[in-house]
Amino acid sequence: MDSIIVTGNGPLNGDIPIAGAKNACLALMPATLLSEEPLTLTNAPRLSDIKTMTALLESLGAEVTKMQDGKVIAMASHGEISPVADYDIVRKMRASNLVLGPLLARMGHAVVSLPGGCAIGARPMDLHVDALTAMGAEIELKEGYLHAKTNGGLKGAVHELRFASVGATENVLMAATLAKGTTVLKNAAREPEIVDLADCLRKMGAQIEGDGTSTIEIQGVDRLHGATHPVVTDRIELGTYMLAPAFCGGEVTCLGGRIDLIGAFCEKLDAAGIEVTECARGLTVKRRGDRIKAVDIVTEPFPGFPTDLQAQMMALLCLADGTSVLEEKIFENRFMHAPELVRMGANIDVQGGVATVHGVEKMKGAPVMATDLRASVSLILAGLAAEGETIVNRVYHLDRGYERVEEKLGNVGAKIERITGQ
Ligand code: EPZ
């Protein structure tokens, strides 16, 4: 297992390129199952989660070809497609559940393993099941697999999600493109990744309106054709690297960054004393003074403050002048980075879904353990400003969502290196 060693160093200066969005790409790739014609994605991120999705689609019978060092993914599912998504692959990545809607739409039946919980929560699939059932699917849980079938194909339906689930919205969006009739999905998720998926499906011939709002209307069509689509910029990688100069000073431009992708996050940066300037190349970020101010955070579905940036913001607020209160309202167990930050000298009190962070002047490097994707990068960020060496272990979590983190941060002046483990 690899580790990453970060040594507190001076200010960071320069450009950080932002890749295509992991969470958009993981929804776009299963869309290949909706058509027998090729679907090609450009600006794809090079991540282990993308490799996992590739393995899953190939296990179903799709052809996946990576080009340009993985930035282009050409897919085709014109052969025999299997409806069975096996536990061995699905258990590695919850987003594997995004083949459920496309398989039901394409084949009328699917057998998809439940992903099981993960470090940040139980993450059930009841919202996916309720919505697809409303569209005429019969779904039964047997031996850890969802057995889904439709008699005569999915039908359009009006359905309201109990919670604006990103994955459930994506499964319904893809399933409804080939359903008979019109589907109206209420309380739909509004994340930019939903809009990106809708844009791609429209290029394939789908009829979709309202994506990006809480009500999406999809008019089913008989078939979809192939398309080529660029993956939208990764707003979570963007927000993560925007914080780097806030930790240790300097000025960093995140290439390709757009404020509309992370409006709520930028409002909190402004309140904390971090200046964000939008320019043609992307977003330029610098700290206004020597120390950031405390701010309170509540995570919410888009356009609220993203849960995927909560850990990174907590790491920064550990050094703030004052006390910050962070409330995590999306996942039930997403403060596992807190005890690791405390090992570095942070002062954090966690009570259920609320973490109170009392800012300290300085943190000290320490060996720490990554527990999930975003927690691991929050420890790397903390290491940028800590005195001495921080050794982040189990960085396989990191490689799921951040391509070449040591290169991107090293290129702007961070002292960071990867130690390849056995
Ligand atoms: C997506 O997960 C993202 N993953 C997550 O990013 C992100 O944190 C999450 O959306 C929220 O924004 C991908 O897009 C691949 P949800 P998803 O369905 O779709 C509960 C990262 O770090 N829920 O919106 O699984 C669920 O337990 C990852 O990149 C149900 O109760 O999120 C959670 O508490 C982590 N029943 C909440 O809703 C369901 O059927 C949000 O889940 C589905 C979800």
> Mind listing the pLDDT tens digit of every residue in the chain (422 residues)?
889 999 999 899 999 999 999 999 999 999 999 999 999 999 999 999 999 999 999 999 999 999 999 999 999 999 899 999 999 988 889 999 999 999 999 999 999 998 876 777 777 899 999 999 999 999 999 998 999 999 889 999 999 999 999 999 999 999 999 999 999 999 999 999 999 999 999 999 999 999 999 999 999 999 999 999 999 999 999 999 999 999 999 999 999 999 999 999 999 999 999 999 999 999 999 999 999 999 999 999 999 999 999 999 999 999 999 999 999 999 988 999 999 999 999 999 999 999 999 999 999 999 999 888 999 999 999 999 999 999 999 889 999 999 999 999 999 999 999 998 85
Tell me which architecture the domain covering 22-230 has in CATH: Alpha-beta prism (3.65)
| Angstrom distance (rounded) from CA 127 to CA 186 | 12
Question: Tokens standing for 210?
Answer: 């309202």
Name the residue of 97, 129, 166 whose CB sits within 8 Å of the most ligand 1 atoms, as the mutation to test its pocket. Answer: 166
**Where in the chain are the domains?**
3-19+233-419, 22-230
Residue nearest to atom 27 of ligand 1 (CA): 123
**Pocket residue to mutate for ligand 1, from 28, 126, 165, most atoms within 8 A of Cβ:** 165
Nearest-CA residue for atom 1 of ligand 1: 166
Q: What atom in ligand 1 is closest to the CA of residue 23? A: 14
Report, as residue numbers or ranges, the catalytic residues.
118
- For residue 373, give the ligand 1 atom closest to its CA: 22
CA of 277 to the centre of ligand 1 (A): 30
Using alpha carbons only, how large is the chain's radius of gyration in Å?
Answer: 21
Pick the atom of ligand 1 nearest to 189's CA: 24
Cα of 304 vs its chain's centroid, Å: 15
The closest of 10, 5, 1, 17 to 255, measured between CA atoms, is: 17
Q: Give distance in angstroms: CA of 166 to centre of ligand 1.
A: 6
Task: Say if 3-19+233-419 and 22-230 have the same CATH topology.
Answer: yes
Residues whose CB is less than 8 angstroms from the CB of residue 172 and which lie 6 or more positions away in sequence, other chains included: 101, 128, 131, 132, 135, 159, 183, 185, 188
CATH architecture of 3-19+233-419: Alpha-beta prism (3.65)
Give me the sign of the Cα torsion angle 242, 244, 250, 253: negative
> Which of the listed residues 23, 53, 231, 236 should we mutate to test ligand 1's pocket, taking the one with most ligand atoms within 8 A of CB?
23
Q: Which residue's C-alpha comes closest to atom 17 of ligand 1?
A: 167
As for ligand 1, residues whose beta carbon falls within 6 Å of it are 22-23, 26, 94-95, 121, 123-128, 163, 165-168, 307-308, 330-331, 373-374, 401
Predicted TM-score (pTM) of this structure: 0.97
Ligand 1 atom nearest the C-alpha of 306 is: 12
Question: Contact, 125 vs 166, CB < 8 A?
Answer: no
Q: What's the 164 CA to ligand 1 centre distance in angstroms? A: 9
Looking at residue 372, what is its pLDDT? 87
Calculate how far, in angstroms, residue 195's C-alpha sits from the geometric centre of ligand 1: 16
Alpha carbon of 279 to ligand 1 centroid (Å): 32
The answer to whether the CB of 235 falls within 8 A of the CB of 47 is: no
Residue type, 216: I
Residue 422: predicted pLDDT: 58
Question: For ligand 1, what atom is nearest to the CA of residue 191?
Answer: 12
The alpha carbon of 123 and the centre of ligand 1 are apart by a number of angstroms equal to: 7
Q: Which tokens sit at 136?
A: 């005429």
- What tokens were used for 51? 């490799």
Quick one: which atom of ligand 1 is closest to the CA of 128?
Answer: 40
Testing ligand 1's pocket by substitution, the residue of 330, 371, 398 carrying the most ligand atoms inside 8 A of its CB is 330
In order of 11, 29, 58, 71, 180, the CA distances from 37 in angstroms are: 49, 13, 16, 20, 21
Å from CA of 135 to ligand 1 middle: 21
What is the C-alpha to C-alpha distance for residues 235 and 220, in angstroms, rounded to an integer?
Answer: 30
Give, using CA atoms, the residue closest to atom 31 of ligand 1. 124
